[in-house]
């Protein structure tokens, strides 16, 4: 065992942890749980937001393989909205409207893992929300004025950007380290050639706020390992970023055992300012249309820091001086010092290299190993307004509060059960709020009314304002949040209606502009939706009827001319498998081929008025023969 590395849980024990011991801490059901303080009246009052008042924070939780983003209010923990991102959502027509189909491309689902707010000076600015798709290597951006997605891009050469590195301090970059290593461009290559032909690529994505477009600035071809969680430096560590790795064993099968063999893996330390400079100087290769830095060839800017085996989270302290690695399979956390790291790099205190990347001496960078008694499975750390750290312990099912300055354990609270991540109020910014932390628990077990063999996950709200942490609310969650961010409610400024867009060729804002135009076998409908009717062609005998010929390609361009907050209309055609929505003032297009002759009612799917039920018409498709 390498000196100085925390004694790690052995592979065998790891296997056991994954099965038997997994529930060791959950054998005591909630009814006999000792945390009786959560039953006091005070807790009920703390989380109750009476009608006429509003929640203090928005919580944005990734929706995992639902592909969506879940929006909650805190402290009520009420689910306010699911915003469609990577997966189809018929409730909003996401994946049916032409605009959304263009963004979604060939995919009808995604695996949204880590939400990240845009930042200004290391603080959430409430303007944009970013997210990545682990399943299909995509990045997305949501506009927080409308809570709708503005752009989605595919990121080639990677496979499974498990963790957006959150954004850098001024949203210069969003980093996407890949979870899985693959040959560049996902080319075919035998796993026998894993170490030579597979890469773990880290992508630097940029966002153009003006154009509302994402783009890939450059990529780094890393060793064929798995890259897990990450964080961006701040203040004194501005320009740097950290990423955890596992499977530095380069196992190609049965990772459960084989990727847990070595006592240590690495944290990758990026000097992104330096990498940016290298790209500007042409130190990269062009592969599949991307600028890729190969560290063995283009030296400098990337370093490895040894860390206890298979770490999960790595989190930069609010003051930007330290980064804290969670052990996952080790019983402890490691506090590293950026200052020490910078000095070690300057002094070239390297213990060797891997794939041409220098390895820093563990002792030169490590500041402290922290090992709260009997705490098992540290995964992820958040911070409060005093700089104190809160770490989720997956296996011992608790959150441990501790002091990064001393390593001292300050408080512990059991959560139910198996927390993955946690999110504190603005807890990964330069100025966390304290007040609240939410445990994102993977297992709900008997916390809620049963909904079958598969249960919801669970979020538990913990009050940080008293002398002891206290769980004050438990909220079930749809599958499956991985990470979340919590922002002060007053930072987000939504619009009430969409402005008229004089440049949109498909928008019509008055009845006399409505029309149905035919070009060959293409039919373009320029229609409006208003309380409580559709008008596709005001001059027609039946303005709410669309008549086409079998085989026609039909484009319905629909504008909602009710410029009233919350008056959204829907548009569906029976048996034509389509539904879109138009929010107040919005124009949207749906395209379909009229391949079924016959008579098909069309109707408003989004309740809009007392006469919503009457807001209908017909699509008549004249048979070919």
Query: Three-state DSSP class for 537?
Result: coil
Among residues 7, 12, 78, 521, which is the contact residue for a copy of itself, using CB under 8 A? 78
| C-beta of 91 vs 280, nearer to a copy of itself | 91
Asked if residue 533 binds a copy of itself (CB under 8 A), the reply is: yes
Kindly identify the residues of this chain, within the stretch 2-61, that bind a copy of itself according to CB under 8 A: 14-15, 17-19, 22-23, 30-33, 35, 38-39, 41, 43-45, 47-48, 50-55, 58
243-262 mask for a copy of itself (x: CB under 8 A)? ---xx----xxxxx--xx--
- How many angstroms separate the CA atoms of 305 and 265, rounded? 8
Residue 96 or 240 having the CB closest to a copy of itself:
96
Nearest to a copy of itself of 70, 303 (CB atom): 70
Q: Which is nearer to a copy of itself, 15 or 300 (CB)?
A: 15
Of 108 and 120, nearer to a copy of itself (C-beta) is: 108
**Residue 100 and residue 150: Cα distance in Å, rounded?**
9
CB of 540 to a copy of itself, least distance (A): 9
Residues 70 and 84: their CA atoms lie apart, in Å, by 9
| Cβ distance to a copy of itself smaller for residue 367 or 426 | 426
CB of 53 to a copy of itself, least distance (A): 8
| Interface with a copy of itself, residue 592, by CB under 8 A | no
Is 205 within 8 Å of 155 (Cβ atoms)? Answer: yes
Decide: 509 and 529 in contact? Cβ < 8 Å: no
Closest among 556, 552, 521, 561 to 536, alpha carbons compared = 556
Q: Is 148 in the site for a copy of itself (CB under 8 A)?
A: yes
At closest approach, how far in Å is the CB of 275 from a copy of itself? 25
Stretch that binds a copy of itself, among 71-79, 115-123, 169-177, 266-274 (CB under 8 A): 71-79
CB of 119 or CB of 228, closer to a copy of itself: 228
Would you say 122 or 419 has its CB closer to a copy of itself?
419
Q: Which of residues 314-373 bind a copy of itself (CB under 8 A)?
A: 328-329
Nearer to a copy of itself, 388 or 472 (CB): 472
- Whose Cβ is closer to a copy of itself: residue 132's or residue 271's? 132
In whole angstroms, the minimum distance from the beta carbon of 44 to a copy of itself comes to 3
Q: Could you tell me the smallest distance in angstroms from the CB atom of residue 386 to a copy of itself? A: 27
**Tally of residues, the chain:** 625
Region near a copy of itself per CB under 8 A, out of 123-131, 206-214, 343-351, 610-618: 610-618
What's the N-to-C CA distance of the chain in angstroms?
A: 81
Least distance to a copy of itself, CB of residue 299, Å? 28
The residue from 8, 25, 62, 66 that contacts a copy of itself (CB under 8 A) is 66
Instruction: Give the residue from 218, 220, 216, 213 showing the smallest Cα distance to 243.
Output: 220
Q: How far is the CB of 334 from a copy of itself (least distance, A)?
A: 18
C-alpha distances (whole Å) from 210 to each of 122, 128, 166, 213, 522 are 21, 12, 21, 8, 34
CB of residue 511 to a copy of itself, shortest distance in Å: 12
Within 257-286, the residues that bind a copy of itself by CB under 8 A are 259-260
Q: Which is nearer to a copy of itself, 37 or 206 (CB)?
A: 37
The yes or no reply on residue 611 touching a copy of itself (CB under 8 A) is yes
Closest residue by Cα to residue 578 from 16, 38, 88: 88
- 371 to 430, contacts with a copy of itself by CB under 8 A? 377, 394-395, 416, 420
Least Å distance between CB 123 and a copy of itself? Answer: 19
β-sheet bridge partners, residue 303: 269
620 scored as a contact of a copy of itself (CB under 8 A): yes
String of DSSP letters for 200-248: EEEEEEEEETTTTEEEEEEEEEE-SSEEEEEEE--GGGTTEEEEEEE-T
Buried b (16+ CB within 10 A) or exposed e, 274-285: ebbebbeeebbe
Phi-psi sector, 161: left (phi>0), alpha (psi -120 to 50), beta: beta
Q: How far is the CB of 278 from a copy of itself (least distance, A)?
A: 28
Report the distance separating Cα 413 and Cα 427, nearest Å: 18
Minimum gap (Å) between residue 567 Cβ and a copy of itself: 9
Residues in 539-578 at the binding interface with a copy of itself, rule: CB under 8 A? 541-545, 564-566, 568, 570, 572, 574-575, 577
Could you say which residues in the range 81-120 bind a copy of itself, by CB under 8 A? 81-83, 87-92, 96, 106-111
The window from 268-276, 287-295, 477-485, 511-519 that contacts a copy of itself (CB under 8 A) reads 477-485
Is 455 near a copy of itself (CB under 8 A)? yes
Nearest residue to 26 (alpha-carbon basis) of 422, 415, 595: 415
Q: How far is the CB of 242 from a copy of itself (least distance, A)?
A: 18
Chain positions 154 to 213 lying near a copy of itself, rule: CB under 8 A, are 159-160, 179-180, 182-183, 185-191, 198
Residue 313 makes contact with a copy of itself by CB under 8 A = no
Under the binding rule (CB under 8 A), the answer on residue 497 touching a copy of itself is yes
Single residue of 289, 453, 467, 502 touching a copy of itself by CB under 8 A: 453
Total binding residues toward a copy of itself, as defined by CB under 8 A? 174
| Helix, strand, coil percent values for the chain (each to nearest 5) | 15, 40, 45
- Residue 546 phi/psi, 5° resolution? -115, 120
Q: How far apart are CA 372 and CA 368, in angstroms?
A: 13
Task: Give Rg (Cα) of the chain.
Answer: 27
Nearest approach, Cβ of residue 37 and a copy of itself (Å):
10
DSSP 250-309: ---S-HHHHTT-SSEEEEEEEEHHHHHHHHHTT-SEEETTEEEE-TTTS-SSEEEEEEES
Q: How far is the CB of 305 from a copy of itself (least distance, A)?
A: 20
Is 106 or 281 the residue whose CB approaches a copy of itself more closely? 106
Q: Which residues pair with 207 in a beta bridge?
A: 214
> To 5 degrees, how large is the angle CA 356–CA 357–CA 361?
130
Task: Kindly report the three-state secondary structure assignment for every residue of 99-142.
Answer: HHHHHHCCCCCCCECCCEEEEECCEEEEEEEEEEECCCCEEEEE
On the 0-12 / 13-18 / 19+ scale of CB atoms within 10 A, 63 is: buried
């Amino acid at each position: 065992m390498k000196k100085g590395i925390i004694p790690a849980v052995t592979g065998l024990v790891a296997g056991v942890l994954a099965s038997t011991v997994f529930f060791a801490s959950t054998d005591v059901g909630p009814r006999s749980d000792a945390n009786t303080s959560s039953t006091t009246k005070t807790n009920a009052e703390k989380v109750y937001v009476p009608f006429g008042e509003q929640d203090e924070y928005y919580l944005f939780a990734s929706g995992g393989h639902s592909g969506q983003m879940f929006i909650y209010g805190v402290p009520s923990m009420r689910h306010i909205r699911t915003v469609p991102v990577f997966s189809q959502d018929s409730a909003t027509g996401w994946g049916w409207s032409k605009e959304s189909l263009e963004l979604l491309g060939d995919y009808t689902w995604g695996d949204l893992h880590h939400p990240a707010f845009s930042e200004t000076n290391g603080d959430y600015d409430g303007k944009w929300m970013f997210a990545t798709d682990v399943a299909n290597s995509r990045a997305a951006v949501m506009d927080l004025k409308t809570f709708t997605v503005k752009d989605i891009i595919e990121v080639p050469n990677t496979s499974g950007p498990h963790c957006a590195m959150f954004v850098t301090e001024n949203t210069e970059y969003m980093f996407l380290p890949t979870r899985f290593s693959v040959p560049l461009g996902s080319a075919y290559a035998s796993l026998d050639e894993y170490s030579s032909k597979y890469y773990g690529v880290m992508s630097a994505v940029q966002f153009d706020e003006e154009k509302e477009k994402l783009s890939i600035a450059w990529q780094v071809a890393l060793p064929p390992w798995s890259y897990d969680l990450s964080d961006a430096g701040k203040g004194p560590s501005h320009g740097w970023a950290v990423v955890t790795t596992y499977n530095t064993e380069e196992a190609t099968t049965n990772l459960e055992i084989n990727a847990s063999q070595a006592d240590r893996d690495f944290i990758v330390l990026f000097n992104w300012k330096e990498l940016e400079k290298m790209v500007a100087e042409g130190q990269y290769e062009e592969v599949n249309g991307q600028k890729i830095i190969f560290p063995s060839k283009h030296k400098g800017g990337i370093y490895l820091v040894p860390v206890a085996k298979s770490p999960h989270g790595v989190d930069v302290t609010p003051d930007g001086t330290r980064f804290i690695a969670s052990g996952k399979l080790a019983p402890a956390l490691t506090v590293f010092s950026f200052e020490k790291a910078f000095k070690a790099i300057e002094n070239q205190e390297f213990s060797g290299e891997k794939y041409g990347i220098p390895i820093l001496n563990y002792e030169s960078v490590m500041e402290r190993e922290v090992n709260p008694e009997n705490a098992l499975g540290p995964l992820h750390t958040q911070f409060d307004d005093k700089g104190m750290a809160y770490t989720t312990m997956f296996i011992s099912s608790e959150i441990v509060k501790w002091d990064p300055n001393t390593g001292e354990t300050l408080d512990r609270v059991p959560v139910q059960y198996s927390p993955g991540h946690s999110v504190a109020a603005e807890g990964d910014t330069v100025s966390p709020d304290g007040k609240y932390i939410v445990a994102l628990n993977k297992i709900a077990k008997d916390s809620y009314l049963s909904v079958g063999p598969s249960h919801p996950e669970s979020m538990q709200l913990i009050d940080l304002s008293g002398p002891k942490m206290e769980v004050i609310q438990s909220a079930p969650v749809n599958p499956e949040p991985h990470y979340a961010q919590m922002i002060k409610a007053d930072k987000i400024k939504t619009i009430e209606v969409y402005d008229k867009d004089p440049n949109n060729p498909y928008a019509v804002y008055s009845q006399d502009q409505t029309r149905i135009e035919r070009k060959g076998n293409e039919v373009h409908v320029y229609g409006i939706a208003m309380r409580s009717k559709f008008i596709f062609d005001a001059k027609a005998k039946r303005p709410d009827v669309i008549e086409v010929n079998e085989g026609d390609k039909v484009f319905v361009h629909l504008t909602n001319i009710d410029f009233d907050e919350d008056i959204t209309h829907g548009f569906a055609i029976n048996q034509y498998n389509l539904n879109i929505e138009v929010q107040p003032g919005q124009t949207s297009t749906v395209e379909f081929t009229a391949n079924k002759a016959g008579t098909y009612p069309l109707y408003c799917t989004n309740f809009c008025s007392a006469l919503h039920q009457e807001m209908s018409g017909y699509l008549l498709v004249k048979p070919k023969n």
